[in-house]
Amino acid sequence: MKTLSSAFEGKKALVTYISAGDPDLETTAFLLKLLDTEGADVLEVGIPFSDPLADGPVIQQAAQRALAGGATLKKILGMLKDLRDEISAPRVLMGYMNSVLAYGPEKFAADAAGAGVSGVIIPDLPFHQGEHLASLLRERGVDFILMVTPNTPAERLKGIAERASGFLYCVSRLGVTGESGTTGGSPKEYIDRIRSHTSLPLALGFGVGSPEKAALAAEAADGVVVGSALISLLEPCGSDRELLRSKAVPFLRSLREAVGQKRRQTVPPERS
């Protein structure tokens, strides 16, 4: 299995997001293997939650379908463990702190590592309150990935950059996943501002729903995250694997081509 850092080496990374258990975990396992085969560099796997504050309607509905189908964090980790030797792209879990607390942070960190998870994103856990979980994850070789937004002040950005590992998830604009919009400036201006604080790879997500938007994002960032558009495309297919393949493959190839293979530029951060 590749590491998170290697996923960004020598090229722009395509990061895909699907909600685990939508419509069932067997289909999720099939899709993860398909995404891996078709060139996704990082596989982001959503932990369904009843009140996903950072997610827009598409991912909220996917989470509801998954919960209705009986998906649990324990089952998701079991599915990922079963796939551990079948997928080369690193897997990143994205979920909410209530799920981790209910599972138990220590057990979550241990089981995530045992399932081959490379990184964890908890969008409702402020970076200055996340050191305990981050330490538990780091002890087991799992990166604690943090998010920044266009209105993150410089001092907070500096603190986030000092604590993050793996890569930084750069939210493209204010709001929730799946919405279109802009940062208020160009993606390059936004990414350049963040890059002045860190040498970690920078992945731009939220609202990247087409090859054209992916290409624009890839001009500035080291990676591009596509989630809601992929879920919307696949949702009507249910668990029909041939239909899923027929819809997913052309879209993934168009994204892969749009993101391209341009080598990322590593610029040492400016230190104040």
SS3 category, 18: strand
Q: Which residues make beta-bridge pairs with 264?
A: none
240 included as an active-site residue? no
Residue 42 belongs to what H/E stretch? strand 42-46
**Rounded Cα distance, 73 and 75, in Å:** 5
55 included as an active-site residue? yes
**Rounded Cα distance, 243 and 147, in Å:** 34
**Rounded Cα distance, 95 and 71, in Å:** 13
**Pair 81, 29: CB distance under 8 Å:** no
Distances (CA, A) of 134 to 26, 42, 180: 30, 20, 31
Residue 240, amino acid = D
**Pair 169, 121: CB distance under 8 Å:** yes
Long-range contacts made by residues 121-125, C-beta under 8 angstroms, separation at least 24? 121/44, 121/92, 121/93, 121/94, 121/95, 121/145, 121/146, 121/147, 121/169, 122/94, 122/95, 122/96, 122/97, 123/53, 123/54, 123/94, 123/96, 123/147, 124/53, 124/54, 124/96, 124/97, 125/97
Task: Find the catalytic residue in 55, 111, 143, 222.
Answer: 55
How many CA atoms lie within 13 Å of 65's alpha carbon, on the beta-carbon side?
23
Task: Find the catalytic residue in 22, 36, 38, 44.
Answer: 44
**Rounded Cα distance, 54 and 58, in Å:** 12
Positions annotated as catalytic residues are: 44, 55
